[in-house]
Structure 1
Amino acid sequence: MKKIIYLFTLALIFTSCEDFLDTKDLTRKNTSNFPETVEDAEQMLAAIYNNLNLSSQDPQFSYFYAASLASDDQFGGGGENDRLMQALDLLMNYNNSMLEPYWTARYKGIYRANTAIETIDNCSGWDNEDQRNQMKGEAYFMRAFFYDELASFFGQVPLVITTEAQNLPKASADELYAQIASDLKMAIELMPNKPYTSVEAGHVTKWTAEALMARVFLFYTGFYNKSELPLVEGGSVSKADVVAWLEDCIDNSGHNLVGDFRELWAYTNKYTVDDYSYTANEDLTWAENDLEVNPESMFAIKYSNFADWGTTIGYSNQYMLHFGLRGGQPYENTFPFGQGWGAGPVNPTLWNDWVAAEPNDVRRVASIIDLPNELPNYAKGGWTDMVQETDYWQKKYTPVTAYNEDGSIASSYSVLMHGTTDNMQLDNTKDIVLIRLADVYLMHSELTETNTYMNMVRNRAGLDPIDYSLENIQKERRWELAFEGTRWNDIRRWGIAPDVLQAQIGIDCYFKGTPDVTKSIGGGYKARYEATNGGFFPIPENQISLSDGILTQNDGWGTGSGAEYSGWN
């Protein structure tokens, strides 16, 4: 049974009522008696982390999903009626509140983090000061992470840093990023200077906070043309500060690169690796076999075999279900890859650019399925309705099948490894890794304009060293981190988004299994990107209504904006 630290969501009922005796409530948890103990603190943290799974129940309403489809390396895909997938790709609107589940989920997470930050010092019984500081630092990190996603996704959003009920307008980008940077700095200073192995798997560490600080710094300074990150308390975070933190992370975290790039991905699991022609006889061992901790993973959404229909569906990896090859066809046609809803077909331009730049890069075939050559029996069209299908699919977050002892094919290796139900909608358990060490190496090279760590990443892929240049680091990030949710913010902060997005028009694809080309819809990708002031998505109209107009809609959305998506044809 796969361990998961987010299994239980903390249900808190806080009341402000006091009876005439002012007695302590012994029958339920409220602000008079919670939190008091270390166990209470652990429950508060579990509730914060659980928010990652809350937004996974339908991943279409999430930053990772939208960033994947909005980038230039993946199209929307799905069936004709999966218009939200296509709308995210096209930077268009499917309905006025299409992203409300994500908005409300993240603000729930922020409220839980605020609660922990305000009350964790009330707890007693700590083993030592490091234990208290670790938990408090985690709460600061998670609040920063939630706001970083919201600021990347929506631009300006309300900044809520207390549990007091408030109706707030949008905060400016400077205010948001000052809070994010201050929270991360606090997390770095609070969490102990110990190897990641000293912290329970699934929890963030000081090293995770140092890595996220670098990612935030690169986006904020690049996208907003700044030189430093502001801090709420005054002063700022400089490039030199970020580099020092990255070097601290690299030298002291205990994280290391997995030996072979392919061992990061679930198709090298022990039940599949020998039956997959690409990995057979390659002596590969998946880094997450039998609940092993991936030494390269620094922050991940964790999944388990506890998923069921309803509120717990998010405990299975619904991203992999959505990103699976579309269509109900025999698993023999797609082995070792399972099936799903068909979101995110790969833009052929990525494959072609990669071949031209690095024809011997093992990461290309390790990351992308070349359908005609690798799965020649795959039937296009997926339930006869697929949109924007291509000859390429990503391998990193696609379901992976395995042979049962009787020769039949289970819908996931998790059926054999973790005892999950053989159900394609519930049995994907691979973690979504949000930050890994290779990203830290590449961020260090970009910030220092040096090639040492970039070439360590290349060396793992069997490639020769190269000199540092902006063009080279852009390529390395595209190859190494393909389909991992980073490309969208990378092209935005580098200022290349309008051109690379517009280049998606006129690309060969398939519509319902027949040849087609990608189209200019809503004025085209570049026009939509510019209309939305750099790719910010719409604030849910329901939230604007609930605020009595305190919130205002982002540019490029709403009535008369030309943002409404009505379908592919």
Structure 2
Amino acid sequence: MKKLNIFLASAMAVLSLASCDINDVQNVGELSSSTFPVSKEDGEAVLAGVYQNLNQVCADPQMSFLYYAQLASDDMLGGGGVNDKLMQADDLLCNYNADMTNVFYEARYKGINRANTLIEALPNTSMDEDTKKSLMGQTKFLRAFYYYELASMYGNVPMRLKPGSEAITQGNIEDPWKQILMDLRDAVDLLPATKSTDGHVDKYAAEALLGRAWLFYSGFFGNGSTLADLTSTTYNPLTSVELPDGTTLSKENVITAIDDCVANSGRKLVDKYQNLWAYTNRCTVEDYDYTKGQGFKWVEDDASQNPETLFSIKFNKFASWDTTIGYANGYALHFGVRGGQNYGNTFPFGQGWGAGPVAPNLVKDWAAAEPNDARRDASVQDWSKVETYKKGGWADFVQETDYYAKKWAPISCKNDQLKDGYSCTFENVMYPGNWDVAGKENMQLNNIHDLVLIRFADVLLMQSELKKDVAGINEVRKRAGLNPIAAYSEEALRNERRWELACEGTRWNDLRRWHIAAAALEKQNGVAVYYCGQPDKNTPHNGGYTARYNATAGFQKMPETQVALGTVKQNEGWTGADSEYQGWK
């Protein structure tokens, strides 16, 4: 009997199907695919377990693809302390220890196995057809997303499409992507043409992820699937792909889906770019010099729904050190300000582990290309302009720069009820009372603002890229207060994606699919950094960025535990001593 063990906190994501209330919690016990799902409620409980895998990975964000994508890109360096070698290894495309990312690898396959259980069971239930289609569409979306992250991270991952625990082995490196595209095509067809209002993924989220997956697959594999093909500097995107069921998905099919998302999703651009980010929350906005008096209002104030979001991970007040760490936004913690200095020194940006210092080359390129772009200051804090900021972290900060990413940061707020005058997170004030065992004022567990994975601006830019027109680009530029561009070009599109989506985790796969990764990463060599508070240079390690990218195509090392099991072969570029990071100095 196949068992699906689910511990569900419905507030974890309004994604969990039970409630949109940030204060609710519900437990669901052990479910068996031989008897479940029968009713709609049973099916929703199983699906909640598939969604829960989003939060499971947030418990150890440093091992995830999203974390790697941030640090490996030319948006950010690695950061962290002298002993946080994983962070620096991610940036340098190196490895640190045998199983650096195995927790993520195994977690995503747990989510996939839960999805497979529901996909197999649904056709044999007596639910009404509309309910079946909705549950099946959401489940196929989630399976596609989990495989999207695995295939982006590791390349040729084994494809488990049926529930079970037997060993599975690799096929062709392109097989996962064809399955991802087919699952998303099916999700688009299955889900109703109505906007989700309860945090679940909907038809339009599936269309958006289909666009993202298509653009990556068609570009990255446009020259072929060998290491030389994937690291070639020639950009020659595919226009169609044969799916596992024998049908063909074309670029025109994807354009149709993206056009529908733009026209009918009910999403829109937020009026002011700054309103997307938590530093404009009502508890902080009028105390922050950059935002006070500007009329900014965070779109998620008091658990409001962000009209620009198509897909996000939700969090709640029930994070604890037991099994529910992932109910807190661990990415905010990791990208928080390193060093434990007074909150007033870095206000409104809260404390954390110092991952992902913004690469100076991003700021330099941006200022040169768009000197009047207000999104730059909305996205990046220049510490050199903050007299109270103290460099060095705990006298151990590696690859520190003068620049800090604002978007995913923990955000503090003033609080006269506390001795030092600040709450470690604004959520403690916005959502008072009823915090779980960790309690209030816990800087590690009290970040619960959304982690947005796909937003409408991204869809508009995908539309422009697919159709090679300026409509979507110019709509995004209009919000930024910039003049429209007259004609489409790859350079204009690529720049617009870089500025609009800076430090949101999309840049890494953009670089890879456009076949410009090595050249872009090389611009990080020699940029100004600080080591333990002292001026330093970002120096090449293990042969440098270009050598490491060309050796790996940006794929991570397969966890040695998985290689030892015989289910996967080690990826190219990861068997020699030159792949092992030994430390900054």
Residue 120 of structure 1 is matched in structure 2 by 122
Deviation of the 1:175 alpha carbon: 1.5
Deviation of the 1:529 alpha carbon: 0.6
Q: Does 1:307 align with 2:309?
A: no
Residue 504 of structure 2 is matched in structure 1 by 484
What residue identity is the alignment partner of 1:382? G
What residue identity is the alignment partner of 2:464? S
Residue 26 of structure 1 is matched in structure 2 by none
Residue 55 of structure 1 is matched in structure 2 by 57
Deviation of the 1:392 alpha carbon: 0.2
Deviation of the 1:171 alpha carbon: 2.4
Deviation of the 1:299 alpha carbon: 0.4
Matched residue SS, 1:485: coil
- Residues 41 and 123 of structure 1 are in contact (CA less than 8 Å); yes or no, is this contact kept in structure 2? no
What is the total number of aligned residue pairs between the two structures? 543
Matches within 5 A, 1:159-558: 159-197=159-197, 200-201=198-199, 203-225=200-222, 226-373=238-385, 375-406=386-417, 408-419=421-432, 420=435, 421-466=440-485, 467-532=487-552, 534-546=553-565, 549-558=566-575
Deviation of the 1:273 alpha carbon: 0.5
TM-score norm. by structure 1 comes to: 0.93
Residue 566 of structure 1 is matched in structure 2 by 582
**Matched-pair identity in %:** 49
Within 2, Cα distance between the matches of 1:475 and 1:497?
Answer: 14
Residue 152 of structure 2 is matched in structure 1 by 152
- Residues 9 and 46 of structure 1 are in contact (CA less than 8 Å); yes or no, is this contact kept in structure 2? no
Deviation of the 1:33 alpha carbon: 2.3
Deviation of the 1:8 alpha carbon: 6.0
Deviation of the 1:34 alpha carbon: 2.0
- Residues 9 and 50 of structure 1 are in contact (CA less than 8 Å); yes or no, is this contact kept in structure 2? no
Report the more deviating stretch, 422-431 or 159-168: 159-168
Residue 94 of structure 1 is matched in structure 2 by 96
Deviation of the 1:423 alpha carbon: 1.0
Within 2, Cα distance between the matches of 1:61 and 1:30?
Answer: 30
Matched residue SS, 1:170: coil
Within 2, Cα distance between the matches of 1:433 and 1:211?
Answer: 13
* Structure 1, unaligned runs of 5 or more: 13-28
- Residues 35 and 122 of structure 1 are in contact (CA less than 8 Å); yes or no, is this contact kept in structure 2? no
What residue identity is the alignment partner of 1:553? Q
- Residues 416 and 422 of structure 2 are in contact (CA less than 8 Å); yes or no, is this contact kept in structure 1? no
What residue identity is the alignment partner of 1:351? V
Residue 20 of structure 1 is matched in structure 2 by none
User: Which of 35, 44, 47 lines up with 1:45 in the alignment?
Assistant: 47
Structure 1 pair 8–154 and aligned structure 2 pair: CA distance change class (3 A): farther
Matched residue SS, 1:299: strand
Deviation of the 1:494 alpha carbon: 0.7
Within 2, Cα distance between the matches of 1:365 and 1:527?
Answer: 33
TM-score norm. by structure 2 comes to: 0.91
What residue identity is the alignment partner of 1:567? G
What residue identity is the alignment partner of 1:333? N
Q: CA RMSD in A?
A: 1.5
Matched residue SS, 1:325: coil
Within 2, Cα distance between the matches of 1:307 and 1:112?
Answer: 22
1:197-232 CA-to-partner distances (Å, cap 9, x unmatched) read 3xx22x101101111111111111111113323311
Deviation of the 1:120 alpha carbon: 2.1
Within 2, Cα distance between the matches of 1:10 and 1:2?
Answer: 13
Within 2, Cα distance between the matches of 1:229 and 1:484?
Answer: 28
1:460-519 CA-to-partner distances (Å, cap 9, x unmatched) read 000000131100010000000011110000011111101111221111100000000011
Within 2, Cα distance between the matches of 1:56 and 1:146?
Answer: 13
Within 2, Cα distance between the matches of 1:329 and 1:31?
Answer: 51
Deviation of the 1:258 alpha carbon: 0.7
- Residues 61 and 102 of structure 1 are in contact (CA less than 8 Å); yes or no, is this contact kept in structure 2? yes
Within 1, Cα distance between the matches of 2:507 and 2:240?
Answer: 22
Deviation of the 1:248 alpha carbon: 0.6
Structure 1 pair 241–409 and aligned structure 2 pair: CA distance change class (3 A): same
Structure 1 pair 160–400 and aligned structure 2 pair: CA distance change class (3 A): same
What residue identity is the alignment partner of 1:568? W
Q: Does 1:30 align with 2:42?
A: no
Within 2, Cα distance between the matches of 1:268 and 1:217?
Answer: 34
Report the more deviating stretch, 234-243 or 183-192: 234-243
Within 2, Cα distance between the matches of 1:65 and 1:497?
Answer: 17
Matched residue SS, 1:60: helix
Within 2, Cα distance between the matches of 1:32 and 1:49?
Answer: 21
Deviation of the 1:123 alpha carbon: 3.8
- Residues 33 and 121 of structure 2 are in contact (CA less than 8 Å); yes or no, is this contact kept in structure 1? no
Deviation of the 1:11 alpha carbon: 5.0
Within 2, Cα distance between the matches of 1:409 and 1:165?
Answer: 49
Deviation of the 1:312 alpha carbon: 0.8
- Residues 191 and 205 of structure 1 are in contact (CA less than 8 Å); yes or no, is this contact kept in structure 2? yes
Within 2, Cα distance between the matches of 1:229 and 1:274?
Answer: 52
Matched residue SS, 2:312: strand
Deviation of the 1:10 alpha carbon: 5.5
Deviation of the 1:561 alpha carbon: 4.4
Deviation of the 1:3 alpha carbon: 6.5
Deviation of the 1:405 alpha carbon: 3.7
Moved over 4 A (4+): 7-11
Structure 1 pair 52–3 and aligned structure 2 pair: CA distance change class (3 A): closer
Within 2, Cα distance between the matches of 1:53 and 1:488?
Answer: 22
